[in-house]
Amino acid sequence: MSTITVGPHGPAAPDHPLSQTAPHAHKGSFLTTYIFSRDHKVIGIQFLFSTLLWFLIGGLLALAVRWQVAWPWTQIPILGHLFHLQGGQISPEFYTMLVTMHATVMIFLVIIPILAGAFGNFLIPLMIGADDMAFPTLNMLSYWFMWPAFICFLSSFFVAGGAAAAGWTSYPPLSDNPAAAPGSGMGQTLWLLGLVCVGISSMMGSINYMTTIIQMRAPGMTMFRLPLTIWAMFITAVLQAFALPVLTAAAFMQLMDRLLGAGFFMPDGSVVNNTINTAGGGQPLLWQHLFWFYSHPAVYIMILPAMGMVSDMISCFARKPIYGYKPMVYSIAGIAGLGFIVWGHHMFVSGMNPALGMTFMVSTMMIALPSAIKTFNWLGTIWGGKIQFTTPMLFALAFVSMFIIGGLSGIFMAATPVDIFIHDTYFIVAHFHYVLFAGTAMGVFGAIYFWFPKMFGRMMNELWGKVHFFFTFIFLNGVFYTMHILGANGFPRRYADHYRFATFAHLQPLNAFMTYCAMGLVGVQVIFIINFFYSMFLGPKAGRNPWHANGLEWSAPSPPGHGNFDFQPHVHRGPYEYGSPESTEDYYPQIQPPAEGLPPIADGHGH
Ligand code: HEM
Ligand SMILES: [Cu+2]
């Protein structure tokens, strides 16, 4: 492979024998090519389309929630007719269903599967120089296990009693007793079944990602030559493998409580909604421990892959090597490791022993350390760079700045005495929307603009991309920044009508402002949708390497054919050699051999 030449558009079509024999060059029917495909790229794109659709549904649910918080007991447009709501208004019961399902959809059907399912699938084999995943059939199944989950969650709105209403955290006894409230009936059972399906899907994905990254790297691709995207995907997969079984088992236990009266989470002698529980002797708090033992690590499942992708975009568009590559890797691992011992920070007000609360407080604050390393390294990467303000770069920079705000509010909340005051207020809601929406979702938008040319072979429109970025950024801060102010005023989360309490009446105008911003936020996504679909068919052709980036994926055709590479990639260096003195260009692709006269860099082992 010493004859490959790399021009600005990637390697010239190589005449290597391997290019004639693409590993999986067989023709399939429409069904096996596009529907039940085992090709990681098709599966990734299936995940992308499905999750974007759910993003829209989750966004519309959010608008309904925001309508109620701003103007409770008024006629709500569209939804009022759709669900034959009483007098066209949202009832408190329906409101709790909306809140529960908004969070459920966004977390389990959007953020987690868009990161791991869409980008993990699409990028892992391409970035490590493999022709596909280690287990293609398992990969296909991991996508198709999402469908029962979709169906469970969506259909729950239409069953007797309506959708689950116990919050995305599903705390017993409300969730455990089918007679507790309307939404604790069939809707809650469907919610648990959906959750189990999502869990199985993620489990299959994570085993696949770990195996692929360990086993299938191209020759020369040592672990420390992996792009940070891949490191983040790898560690996320490890997190999933360790944390998910706990949640899946807990969901089973809750199902058994509900269907068989097992009583794991049901206390003795509890009377809910005038119904006495026959089975008792269980512990509602046990659920909280099991749930957060999964769900705290899960918040890192919801951000680490975005951190990895943002690192790749920032290095590319600052035209500089990532500052402190190894510390970046170690801090991803550190965040993941610490993530397992901090879950109790969600339970400070549950009556735990203050000594235990203290250990959770200290361990939580320690997470700020690796998070800060990452933040400073992103800033160090940008520092003195030749920054190109492309659309993906704008989104990546938004990720960094918004993550700083979300991370800082996290440290406030980690302090038990502060958290006792702000727990279950909008301060918490502000925190997790900054990390999840202003953080992860911005990273994902950036990643879509960045890897779109690889996925579809065409560029997205830059001008409209920037317009989309600009309004999204303004509106999201309009909605979420103000939540800190509400929270500091004690404005509680998950209430259907705050203004019954005179103390919150003065906050109504602020809430109306936020709801207008939320409408703007959802509205401007139309620009993105049009740009996405227009560019898919009519955007300018991209070529192999439109951003002049170093990663292996940019040396494959756009879009890559079945089997990915039309030559066998050999890796000669790390992915961040921008502005290397060894190269005449300001970038130095991983596949390009060192120039004549330079000592060859020793290859690590690949396979
Ligand atoms: C700097 C690191 C972080 C710290 C110190 C931190 C701390 C905390 C604390 C103490 C709580 C509990 C507050 C309460 O309920 O009273 C919390 C809630 C939450 N955090 Fe973080 N956090 C951090 C980063 C993140 C990240 C990166 C994410 C997601 C990507 C995240 C997502 C969430 C979510 C979803 C909740 C609320 C769960 C719920 O009650 O519904 N956090 N965080
Ligand atoms: Cu947490």
Q: What confidence tens digit (pLDDT) does each residue in 87-127 have?
A: 778 889 899 999 999 999 999 999 999 999 999 999 999 99
Structure tokens at 376: 């400073």
CA of 475 to the centre of ligand 1 (A): 22
What average pLDDT does this structure show over 305-328? 98
pLDDT of the residue at 9: 42
pLDDT-derived band at 600 (thresholds 50, 70, 90) equals low
Name the residue among 168, 169, 245 with its Cα closest to residue 206.
Answer: 245
Taking the CA of residue 168 as reference, the ligand 1 atom at the shortest distance is: 41
| pLDDT band of 605, cuts 50, 70, 90 | very low
Neighbours of 84 (CB within 10 A): 7
DSSP labels, 293-355: HHHHHHHHHTTHHHHHHHHHHHHHHHTSPPSSHHHHHHHHHHHHHHGGG-GGGG-GGGT--HH
* Substitution candidate for ligand 1 out of 170, 432, 493 with most atoms within 8 A of CB: 432
Instruction: Find tokens 């959708």 and name the residue.
Output: 163
Residue whose Cα lies nearest atom 27 of ligand 1: it is: 435
| CB contact at 8 A, 294 and 247 | yes
Residue 592 CA to ligand 2 center (angstroms) comes to 43
pLDDT more than 90, % of the chain: 80
Cα distances from 289 to residues 265, 334, 347, 383, 555, in angstroms, run 11, 22, 8, 42, 47
Nearest ligand to the C-alpha of residue 434? 1
Ligand nearest to the CA of 443: 1
Q: Which residue has the tokens 């990895």?
A: 308
Q: What is the mean pLDDT of residues 63-76?
A: 92
Residue type, 607: H
Query: How confident is the model at residue 78, as a pLDDT?
Result: 74
The pLDDT, as a whole number, for residue 21 is 39
On the question of pLDDT at 164 being above 80, the answer is yes
Q: Could you identify the residue written with the tokens 């509602």?
A: 284
Q: What is the residue with the minimal CA distance to atom 23 of ligand 1?
A: 410
For range 549-573, the mean pLDDT: 95
How far are the Cα atoms of 283, 332, 468, 512 from residue 66, in angstroms, in the given order? 34, 35, 22, 9
Amino acid at 369: L
Helix (H) or strand (E) holding 276: strand 275-276
Which pLDDT value is given to residue 281?
84
In ligand 1, the atom with minimum distance to the C-alpha of 348 is: 16
Per residue in 433-465, pLDDT (tens digit) is: 999 999 999 999 999 999 999 999 999 999 999
| Residues 6 or more apart whose Cβ sits within 8 Å of residue 478 | 513, 514, 516, 517, 520, 521
pLDDT band for position 13 (cuts 50, 70, 90) = very low
389-440 pLDDT, tens digit each: 999 999 999 999 999 999 999 999 999 999 999 999 999 999 999 999 999 9
What is residue 598's predicted lDDT score, i.e. its pLDDT? 61
Which atom from ligand 1 is nearest to the alpha carbon of 349? 16
Residue 16 has pLDDT above 60, yes or no: no
pLDDT of residue 29: 76
How far away, in angstroms, is 402 Cα from ligand 2 center?
18
- Mean pLDDT over 477-485 rounds to 98
pLDDT of residue 84: 57
What single string gives the DSSP state of each residue in 101-120? HHHHIIIIIIIHIIIIIIII
Q: Helix count (H) and strand count (E) of the chain?
A: 23, 4
pTM of the model: 0.92
What residues have CB less than 8 Å from 327, skipping those under 6 apart?
A: 373, 377
H or E segment and range at residue 275: strand 275-276
Mean pLDDT lowest among 81-95, 478-492, 545-559: 81-95
For residue 345, give the ligand 1 atom closest to its CA: 10
pLDDT over 70 (residue 25): no
pLDDT > 60? residue 251: yes
What's the half-sphere exposure (Cβ side, CA atoms, 13 Å) at 280? 10
Measured in Å, residue 110 CA sits from the centre of ligand 2 at 19
Positive/negative CA dihedral, 252, 254, 257, 262:
positive
| Confidence (pLDDT) at 532 | 98
Mean pLDDT of 575-581: 94
The span from the CA of 178 to the CA of 264, in Å, is 14
Average pLDDT value for the chain: 91
Q: Which residues contact 385 (CB under 8 A, 6 or more apart)?
A: 318, 319, 320
Report CA-CA distances (Å) from 309 to 115, 439, 448, 468, 522: 10, 12, 10, 20, 24
26-30, 205-209, 251-255, range with the lowest pLDDT: 26-30
pLDDT band at 381 (very low <50, low <70, confident <90, very high): very high
Coil, helix or strand at residue 272: strand
Which range (26-35, 390-399, 587-596) has the least confidence? 26-35
* Whether residue 151 has pLDDT greater than 50: yes
Residue 18's pLDDT is: 39
Give me the mean pLDDT over the 53-61 stretch.
96
Smallest-distance ligand from the CA of 431: 1
pLDDT digits (tens, 9 = 90+) for 261-279: 888 998 888 777 777 766 7
Residue with tokens 């879509």: 448
Q: Whose CA is nearest to atom 12 of ligand 1?
A: 346
What ligand has the least distance to the C-alpha of 432? 1
In this structure, the residue with its CA closest to atom 10 of ligand 1 is: 414
Q: What number is the average pLDDT over the span 488-499?
A: 95
Which protein residues are within 6 Å of ligand 1, measured from CB?
Answer: 169, 299, 302-303, 345-346, 364, 367-368, 371, 407, 410-411, 413-414, 419, 423, 428, 431-432, 435-436, 440
Task: Answer whether residue 599 shows pLDDT above 80.
Answer: no
Predicted confidence band of residue 184 (pLDDT cuts 50, 70, 90)? confident
More confident residue, 149 or 79: 149
